[in-house]
Amino acid sequence: MLRYVLRRLLGAIPTLFLVITFAFFLMRVAPGGPFDRERALEAKVLENLNRVFHLDRPLWEQYFYYLGNLARGDLGPSFIYRDFSVQQLLGNGLPVSIQLGGMALLVALLVGSLLGCIAALRQNSWIDYGVTAVATFGITVPNFVVAPVLSLIFGVWLSMLPAGGWGGPSSMILPVITLALPQVAIVARLIRGSMIEALRSDHVRTARAYGLPMRMIVGVHSLRAACLPVVSYLGPAAAALLTGSVVVETIFGLPGIGRYFVQGALNRDYTLVMGTVIIIAVFVVIFNLIVDLLYAALDPRVRYD
């Protein structure tokens, strides 16, 4: 198994390399530069800035320079937040994003699977219809609607929770709800569907025919199979959740790394964008690996290699 993990990680290197290369050149080919926004820069100053950040060199040279630094673990200085390196920016923001995303993930898993199971076991009852309706709501309403509306209701009108800002557990509640809502909905739907299928399967009929108690039929013979689609869904979803959300961070004013990505792209903060892209790509690779390992652990028909 260790060999498998190593091989997968080695196999990820070319993918990451491709993503980095693609993102690097795409960013650079885009019109505009990092210092366009600051008006009235003297030609001399601009030239100096370009020299400091090696922007006066040919593109391929910059590319290899960047790769060289990257190999040493250096993501370079930010072009816009000039007092910070990209490592510092990401290092400050990532824990915030991971905390929020991790909590949302946990909520999604617990609440989503619970709702999905209940709905499947009481198929076509009012509980089932209720869960389905909630799930459709969660999937349909976009987070940039949920976030301000929650903030309006609980922050402004009811003044129960902070409408925005970072600090203390109460400031995390609304962002976590916003992040978790669509995931709860999707997990509930997936579990409901696969659970219904599992409950109808031949081997569950066998379990019933052999007089196994309901808790074993559900807990042992249905739930494990029903988890499989959720596991494969949650891989990419977890990677996305943990690397922050622009919308939630913007609306609630949170210092995560989700914003950097959009701001960086708009400001042509090349290194910051590259740093974010690398973080996201690494998360995607890692979570895909975790999914495959979990899948193999849950399903003996799947083998490593």
At closest approach, how far in Å is the CB of 262 from other proteins? Answer: 6
| Non-local CB neighbours of 33 within 8 Å, separated by 6+ positions | 55, 268
> Judged by CB under 8 A, which stretch of 54-62, 76-84, 151-159, 165-173 contacts other proteins?
151-159
Contact between 203 and other proteins by CB under 8 A: the answer reads: yes
At closest approach, how far in Å is the CB of 235 from other proteins? Answer: 12
Q: CA 272, CA 23: separation in Å to the nearest integer?
A: 12
> Judged by CB under 8 A, which stretch of 16-24, 61-69, 73-81, 104-112 contacts other proteins?
16-24
Residue selected from 45, 52, 67, 145 as contacting other proteins according to rule CB under 8 A: 145
> Judged by CB under 8 A, which stretch of 35-43, 97-105, 171-179, 216-224 contacts other proteins?
216-224
**Interacting residues with other proteins between 276 and 295 (CB under 8 A):** 276-277, 280-281, 284-285
At closest approach, how far in Å is the CB of 139 from other proteins? Answer: 7
**Interacting residues with other proteins between 71 and 110 (CB under 8 A):** none
Residue selected from 37, 205, 219, 304 as contacting other proteins according to rule CB under 8 A: 205
Contact between 13 and other proteins by CB under 8 A: the answer reads: no
- Give the residue with the Cβ less far from other proteins, 68 or 213: 213
**Interacting residues with other proteins between 219 and 278 (CB under 8 A):** 220-221, 224-225, 240, 243, 246-247, 251, 261-262, 265-266, 273, 276-277
**Interacting residues with other proteins between 163 and 202 (CB under 8 A):** 193, 200-202
Q: Is 210 exposed, middle or buried (0-12, 13-18, 19+ CB in 10 A)?
A: exposed
Contact between 142 and other proteins by CB under 8 A: the answer reads: yes
> Judged by CB under 8 A, which stretch of 55-63, 104-112, 169-177, 296-304 contacts other proteins?
296-304
Residue selected from 1, 5, 6, 7 as contacting other proteins according to rule CB under 8 A: 7
- Give the residue with the Cβ less far from other proteins, 172 or 277: 277
